[in-house]
Amino acid sequence: MAGDYIPHADEAFLEWSKNLVTYTAAHLTDFSVNQTALTPIQALVTAYETAYTTAANPNRGKVDVMAKNQARDALKAALRVFIKAYLTYNPLVSSTDKEHMVLPLHDRARSPAPPPSTIPEVELDSSVIRWVTVHFKDSGSSRRGKPKGVHGIELRWALLDAPPVAVTDLTNSAFDTATPYTFTFNETERGKALYLCSRWENNKGEKGPWGEIVKAIVP
């Protein structure tokens, strides 16, 4: 499966998530996965479905769209952790199981991608109220997107009153595999300074060097 295995479109992402959770729930014993690991994911799927339905209403407001995006980001992040921890390298999960869940098949004979050696360049777009959109590309590239052999980008960020001294001052983390990534904020956060730093990550979770810390004001 080329590219990211998680669907990009909201409706497709919802259906894929529901299928994966339903299939996993029916095979917990086969996969030797405890229900307590799956329960939080099921709750996030329900929350996202509710937010998606509200945002799809023609009478929706900007707050409804923000809530949908936040619910999607939370579910997407939790699913990545769950899949990596319980499904991807679980020997009890067969290739047929992964096909049913629409997960990538890992060829163990294939050489893994080396750790990233370049840094991302990011462009912050704050033209939409309460949104900051992050466009990213490889250093020196004229085209947006991740470089070959890179799975995605890690974004470390924080809303701070003063510039950070080091990346460790950026206490929040986000991850994406396709540009752009959009942060959504509350009305009370408008006017605050968003500081962000990024680095590439390969499909083994190996990190590249950090890029520059950049700043945007939440519109």
CB 63 within 8 A of CB 54: no
Calpha distance 21→36 (Å, rounded): 13
Calpha distance 191→216 (Å, rounded): 9
Instruction: Tell me the three state secondary structure of residue 216.
Output: strand
Q: What does the pLDDT look like over 119-138, one tens digit per residue?
A: 999 999 999 999 999 999 99
Q: Where are the domains of the chain?
A: 10-101, 120-217
| Long-range contacts, stretch 6-12, CB < 8 angstroms, 24+ apart | 6/76, 6/79, 6/80, 6/177, 8/178, 10/52, 10/55, 10/68, 10/72, 11/52
Amino acid at 192: K
Q: What does the pLDDT look like over 74-113, one tens digit per residue?
A: 999 999 999 999 999 898 999 999 999 999 876 544 556 7
Share of the chain above pLDDT 70, in %: 95
The pLDDT score that the predictor gives to residue 106 is: 64
CB 64 within 8 A of CB 50: no
CB 16 within 8 A of CB 26: no
Instruction: Identify the CA nearest to 122 among candidates 157, 151, 148.
Output: 157
- CATH architecture for residues 120-217: Sandwich (2.60)
Please report, to the nearest 10 degrees, the dihedral formed by the alpha carbons of residues 90, 176, 3, 10 taken in order.
100
What tokens appear for 195 in the block? 């500081």
Instruction: Identify the CA nearest to 146 among candidates 175, 169, 184.
Output: 175
Banded pLDDT at 59 (limits 50, 70, 90): confident
The DSSP secondary-structure symbol of 188 reads G
